Amino acid sequence: MKLHKIKPSNFKKTIICRNVSSTLVNKSIKRTHLPKAGDVAIFRIKEVGKHTRVQTVNGNNRYILPGDLIMATFGNRYATEQLEGYLPTEYCTNYQILGQGGVIGTMASIHSKFELVGPTTVSLVGYVVDETGQVINTKYLNHEAPLELISPSKTQAPKVILSLGTGMDSGKTTSAAFLTRGLKLAKKKVAYIKLTGTAYTKDRAMVRDYGAKMSLDFSDFGFPSTYMCSTRELLILYKYLFDKAKSIAPDVIVVEIADGLLQRETSALLNDSVFAQNVFGVLFSATDSMSAISGANMLKELNYNVIGVTGLFTTSPLMVDEVRNASDYKVLLGDELMSKEIIDTLEQSKKTEVFENKMAANNGIC
């Protein structure tokens, strides 16, 4: 087994590989090793398309050009506004960059707005290995896997508020950041977790800047993405992130789940009884008035406490009026989320939910 040592100055290390210290590369197995999500490799840029930059370990976005080498990982991606891609099932001469944080795979579809530019293509130089020749995988790197899933009985505090939405770019992260700002003004300590998505630290950085005392995401435990993960694996990941967030003793943990309610992992989590029992309420972001109401209705049918609806649609006074006139859901504008009075809204939402549940129970008896 012949290993090649590559100088760090000769490649750009993507942020998902920030905990990888090895620079040993095995080129001989690139045609025979079937990669798993998180497997680290060196890739050469062949043709620049949609992705013109990669996010590197210090958070900076560096431009990439044909011939450049990058250290990245194989993974899957689900992004309705961008790319869909998967782990390769066989060796390919060309792979595609699926995510700017360093996710590589084979593209299955691309949004029509990027069809002309196309994806950025790369070739596989070789896999990054340790001194024994084992391919390095970023998932849970330097961490011992937990033996049990998250248990609601062990997590009675702090409050967990979910930031959910109708889909990608509906305003989930902005809403989470605004809520964090309001809670901070109300003298509450907030931790933020982005539980699902594709590696890229822009969202966690935004919520941190708006006042989160701790800001985490799935990539902290080496996940290049969470697409195609099992529900069990997501719950274990959540336990890791939750326990880390609890270390600062926050009053509230804001948990953002990527994409929309119909997406594979989002739907699985919301329908999981273990995950659901730990949730105080949901802040729901939507792109338009109709989806705000229909999405909130879906959450209510799953017995979630809908604190309020917000998101992109709130930039239109007409759509705000539509939601207010056609539903009983509280519309939360950006200024309201960023006000210290938001703490009163949270408390009132829970009281209202308890009252409605009692009324429903009484009606059922009658």
Element (H, E) at 159: strand 159-165
The pLDDT, as a whole number, for residue 147 is 46
How far, CA to CA in Å, does 338 sit from each of 151, 179, 186, 316, 325?
31, 6, 10, 18, 24
Residue 110 has pLDDT above 70, yes or no: yes
- Token output for 283: 């802040």
The pLDDT, as a whole number, for residue 350 is 75
Residue 287 has pLDDT above 70, yes or no: yes
Q: Which residue has the higher pLDDT, 285 or 149?
A: 285
**How many angstroms separate the CA atoms of 305 and 291, rounded?**
17
Residue 138 has pLDDT above 80, yes or no: yes
Residue 366 has pLDDT above 50, yes or no: no
Q: Which residues pair with 252 in a beta bridge?
A: 159, 190
Residue 357 has pLDDT above 50, yes or no: yes
Residue 365 has pLDDT above 80, yes or no: no
Domain spanning 152-365, CATH class: alpha beta
The pLDDT, as a whole number, for residue 155 is 47
Closest CA to 94 of 54, 49, 126, 46: 46
The pLDDT, as a whole number, for residue 150 is 56
The pLDDT, as a whole number, for residue 154 is 52
Residue 28 has pLDDT above 80, yes or no: yes
Using 50, 70 and 90 to split pLDDT, how confident is the model at 364?
A: very low
Whether the ω angle into residue 158 lies within 30 degrees of 0, i.e. cis, is: yes
Domain ranges of the chain: 4-129, 152-365
Q: How do residues 156-201 score in pLDDT, each as one tens digit?
A: 568 999 999 999 999 999 999 999 999 999 999 999 999 999 999 9
Residue 146 has pLDDT above 60, yes or no: no
In the chain, the percentage of residues whose pLDDT exceeds 70 is: 91
What's the average model confidence in pLDDT over 300-318? 98
Averaged pLDDT score across all residues of the chain? 93
Using 50, 70 and 90 to split pLDDT, how confident is the model at 327?
A: very high
Residue 149 has pLDDT above 90, yes or no: no
Q: In angstroms, how far is the first alpha carbon of the chain from the final one?
A: 76
Helices (H), the chain: 172-185, 202-209, 231-246, 264-270, 273-276, 289-301, 317-326, 334-337, 342-365
Total Cβ atoms within 10 A of residue 325 = 8
Which residues, 6+ apart, have CB-to-CB distance to 68 below 8 Å? 11, 12, 44, 45
What's the average model confidence in pLDDT over 327-351? 94
Angle at CA of residue 332, ends 318 and 266, nearest 5°: 105
Residue 213 has pLDDT above 60, yes or no: yes
Which residues, 6+ apart, have CB-to-CB distance to 209 below 8 Å? 177
Using 50, 70 and 90 to split pLDDT, how confident is the model at 141?
A: confident
Using 50, 70 and 90 to split pLDDT, how confident is the model at 283?
A: very high
The pLDDT, as a whole number, for residue 2 is 85
The pLDDT, as a whole number, for residue 171 is 97
